[in-house]
Chains A and B, each alone.
Chain A
């Protein structure tokens, strides 16, 4: 079954430090992958997406992610974290089901930023 795994439930980094959030997928065909961010009590905001072409994709707020087919991974990175980046991050894959589509999400990674 198609799925997404985020191995890290919580991550703490110092402001200014680099960040990498891990995401592994299980999908038979070429996956369409997304990273979303969710601030407390809020909806989901799309950070970036991959659906073809260059395996290194740039997103908003200085985030980037690299698609590695050989490792079934789509890790999110940021060179220097800001305190405002503290939030929950979700990796997702879109599943096409005869006539429709749906997003399948990982369980999320809670990011804490220490000042």
Chain B
């Protein structure tokens, strides 16, 4: 079975440009979350989507946006790129989102997209 797949694996952008990152969850998973991992740091939560609705947003500027499609895949968009946006962007999927922990809320991570802003 395919795991969480992210595309592209690497990309280089120039300051001020826009970027779109893509994520396909594990088959049957209805929730997708996005994390930013700056070099030398732990991942930071950006967004969570479940059944196409936003269920959580981290402390990121409005330049960051996301959406989830009917097939549960997701896009993360970042506008007006800054040098500080250079990071590994991780996508995680889970079966569902509930009010308490269960095996169905366990997150499975993709390999990430390495974004370099120059």
- Residues of A whose CB lies within 8 Å of any CB of B are 32, 36, 41-46, 49, 51, 90, 92, 94, 96-97, 99-108
Contact = CB atoms under 8 A, between A and B. Distances in A.
Contact of B56 (A36, A100, A108): A100
B102 to A, nearest CB: 8
Given A41-B114, A46-B106, A105 B42 contact: yes
Looking at chain A's contact residues, the main secondary structure is: strand
B99 A96 contact: yes
Interface string B37-71: 00011111100101000011010000000000000
A107 B39 CA distance: 10
Contacts of A41: 88, 112, 114
16 contacts: A32-B101, A41-B88, A43-B111, A43-B112, A92-B42, A99-B97, A100-B50, A100-B55, A100-B97, A101-B56, A102-B45, A103-B33, A103-B107, A104-B45, A106-B42, A108-B40
